Amino acid sequence: MKQARYLLVLLMMIGVVLFPAAQSSAGKVYIDIDAPGFTQFPIAVPEFINMARRGDDPTLAKESREVLTDDLFMAGIFELVDPSLYTPSPDKYDRVDKIDSQVWMSLGAEAVIKGGYEMVGDNLVLEMRLYDVVNDSFIFGRRYRGDAEDFSRMVHKFADELMLEYTGEPGIFQSMIAFTTDQHGEKEIYIMDIDGRNKIRCTNNSAIDLSPDWSPDGTKLVYCSFKQRYPRIFTVDITSFVDTLVASYDGINISPSFSPSGSMIAFTSTMDYDANIYVINASGGGVKKVTSGDIDVSPAWSPDGSMIAFTSNRGGGPQIYIMNVSTGKVTRLTYSGGYNTSPAWSPKGDTIAYVGMSAGLFQVYVINTDGSGAMRLTNRGDNENPTWSPDGNIIAFSSTRGGASKIYWMRADGSDQTMIPGTGGNDTSPAWSPRVDFQ
């Protein structure tokens, strides 16, 4: 069963270091992707090689390469050399432990990743090595062993380590996205890898489940469910899939959000008639009212937990506000447009994504936390529910631009908007997990 296998993947997949990096970490010079004039690094990824020379699996080789190139594209620091120039590979060495640097240099590559695979008993062994073409040198490599169905997670793990090698910061490719889908009729909560693979159903309530948000350790989701008739707040463990009721106050209880420490949950409730923001302990109880508007919804914590952004109609129409958690002081953030909602605080702490209405459609915007620099990022269809990647460089969101609602990602400046393969239903309310590590 897929759900039962999920925990085994987390516990049993092993990454084995082949060789250390060519330089000691103390001597590394990392790429600063935020530096002015930064240019992408040309890299080639030839076809994966069958290292055993038997039992060839062209589908596995093709899909492993696709996962890696998709990760490199999402990373944003690499320029992928056109694969049509080296498919089939022109490298005279049909092996992963050696490259023909002259050939790759002639194609414009400055680095090459050679990958190989083989089956050892019932296990897949996947090996990937990074080479510096210009200096004709090996940089680092990894070998992973696990179930063949988990090949994509092995590739994601390598991509995370590749980003660490180049930038000094781990990648985001082992993180996941939680979302709501109606493919079963009622809305249920799923999680998936960030490329849409390995979808796992987390709720099976035959009821409306909404607004998932991750605990900071990536082990739980908090969400709103109507499974007890009225909207209440639950958490679900993503390995055992056991639900826990944490908020069942009178009225509606919606839009929950874990604090960065994981010790508290902010949510909206009408327990005192008006919709306001409340905070409770993550296990339930200790409720505290923290806002006093007519309608205050959609709380989003700042990365350090000192602030909560939320939507309020206290100024007339819905706008984004920021509240200091310790003092209770509230400051209005958005003024442009008559309808702004769904704030999402960047992990970098300086930017908030939100949804604003333009020409009758919902669009995703970003704004600096001092109220400056508001910028619209989307244009087609209704675009909602922005959520940030753990590094703060990418925003996932739902969009109806193709008809049914699907999950997309884009860079923080709105470029490279790309659909993530979905469930076949309407997929909404994405929530990006913190970094996790499959080992």
Structure tokens at 94: 């049909």
Distances (CA, A) of 419 to 158, 373, 395, 402, 427: 23, 26, 12, 10, 11
d(CA 342, CA 296): 11
pLDDT digits (tens, 9 = 90+) for 18-30: 555 444 334 455 6
Instruction: Select the CATH number that applies to the domain covering 2-167 from these four: 3.20.20.80, 3.40.50.10070, 3.40.50.2300, 3.30.465.10.
Output: 3.40.50.10070
Kindly give the residue spans of alpha helices, DSSP state H, lying in 82-187: 101-106, 151-167
pLDDT digits (tens, 9 = 90+) for 51-77: 987 777 889 999 999 999 999 999 999
- Sequence-ordered list of residues with C-beta below 8 angstroms from that of 432, at least 6 positions apart, any chain: 175, 176, 177, 194, 214, 387, 388, 389, 390, 396
Indicate the DSSP class of residue 390: T
pLDDT digits (tens, 9 = 90+) for 81-104: 999 999 999 999 999 999 999 999
Strand intervals (E) in 209-305: 209-214, 220-228, 230-237, 243-247, 253-258, 264-272, 274-281, 288-289, 296-301
pLDDT at site 33: 65
**CATH architecture of residue range(s) 176-432:** 6 Propeller (2.120)
d(CA 318, CA 333): 11
pTM recorded for the entire structure: 0.92
Backbone dihedral angles phi then psi of residue 180, each to the nearest 5 degrees = -105, 135
pLDDT at site 92: 95
User: How high does pLDDT run on average in the chain?
Assistant: 91
For the chain, how many helices (H) and strands (E)?
4, 31
The predicted model gives 152-176 an average pLDDT of: 95
d(CA 219, CA 168): 25
- Sequence-ordered list of residues with C-beta below 8 angstroms from that of 300, at least 6 positions apart, any chain: 257, 308, 309, 310, 343, 344, 345, 352
CA diameter of the chain: 74
Torsional class of 226: left (φ above 0), alpha (ψ -120 to 50), beta (otherwise)? alpha
DSSP H or E run through 70: helix 58-75
Q: Is the distance from CB of 206 to CB of 165 less than 8 angstroms? A: no
**Same CATH fold, 176-432 and 2-167?**
no
- Give the start-to-end residue ranges of the domains of the chain: 2-167, 176-432
The predicted model gives 195-217 an average pLDDT of: 96
45: pLDDT strictly greater than 70: yes
328: pLDDT strictly greater than 50: yes
d(CA 156, CA 195): 10
